[in-house]
């Protein structure tokens, strides 16, 4: 575990450490909630989402896309904040119990290893019928096969990192090329 300062230990753990903890949580009857994402330029939509996710169980683990994974998904100009900075901010939130990093484009390996009781993603991963879009959310298949629940939380319209970046560029006289 890394330490941010003397008062608050950072909740960044390896997948192996989380797997060990998972057995303890399961034995204690605790309900594990897992979510994943980039969480770049943390904003009110992220905070609300994480609080709602945490309310679905006893322990919330956030799997955070590494810098390399983020660049592969979002392009060469992202992330704005490094993985260490993003992990520190996430780990400081009351709703988040632990953070782990991953380099893959999806969190399938983490889902398979941790076997969450609840897997949470935003409503932007829903089909028009409000079911999980399995083409864009392969983790949902793994969760369902392991007996877990997939929950899609409503998407906070207009509260996205991309929208914040665009607003900053517009206010400082530049237009975003993407």
> What are the tens digits of pLDDT across the range 80-93?
999 999 999 999 99
Instruction: Give me the pLDDT at residue 175, please.
Output: 60
Query: Is residue 143 a contact partner of residue 116, using CB atoms and an 8 Å limit?
Result: yes
Q: What share of the chain is helix, strand, coil (3-state, %, to 5)?
A: 40, 20, 40
Query: Is residue 46 a contact partner of residue 54, using CB atoms and an 8 Å limit?
Result: no
Q: Give the pLDDT band of residue 10 (cuts 50, 70, 90).
A: low
| Tens-place pLDDT, residues 109-167 | 999 999 999 999 987 766 677 677 777 889 999 999 999 999 989 877 767 777 888 88
User: Mean pLDDT across the chain, nearest whole number?
Assistant: 88
- Burial letters for 139-151: b for 16+ Cβ neighbours within 10 Å, e otherwise? bbebbeeeebebb
Quick one: tokens of 66? 């590494």
Taken in order 49, 138, 146, 17, the sign of the CA dihedral is negative
Query: Is residue 13 a contact partner of residue 100, using CB atoms and an 8 Å limit?
Result: yes
| Tens-place pLDDT, residues 96-110 | 999 999 999 999 999
Report the alpha-carbon distance of residue 3 to residue 78 in Å, rounded.
25
Superfamily of domain 15-171: HUPs (3.40.50.620)
Report the alpha-carbon distance of residue 10 to residue 89 in Å, rounded.
9
């Amino acid at each position: 575990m890394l330490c941010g300062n003397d008062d608050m230990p950072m909740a960044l753990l390896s997948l192996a450490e989380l797997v060990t903890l998972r057995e303890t949580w399961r034995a204690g009857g605790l309900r594990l909630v897992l979510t994943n994402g980039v969480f770049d330029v943390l904003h009110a939509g992220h905070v609300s989402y994480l609080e709602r996710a945490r309310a679905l169980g006893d322990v919330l683990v956030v799997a955070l896309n590494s810098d390399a994974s983020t660049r592969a998904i979002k392009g060469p100009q992202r992330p704005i904040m490094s993985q260490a900075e993003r992990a520190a901010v996430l780990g400081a939130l009351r709703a988040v119990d632990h953070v782990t990093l991953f380099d893959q484009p999806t969190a399938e390996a983490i889902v398979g290893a941790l076997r969450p009781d609840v897997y949470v993603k935003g409503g932007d991963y829903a089909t028009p019928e409000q079911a999980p879009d399995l083409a864009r959310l392969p983790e949902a298949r793994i969760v369902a096969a392991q007996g877990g629940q997939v929950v899609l939380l409503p998407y906070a319209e207009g509260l996205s990192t991309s929208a914040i970046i665009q607003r900053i560029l517009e206010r400082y006289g530049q237009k975003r090329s993407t």
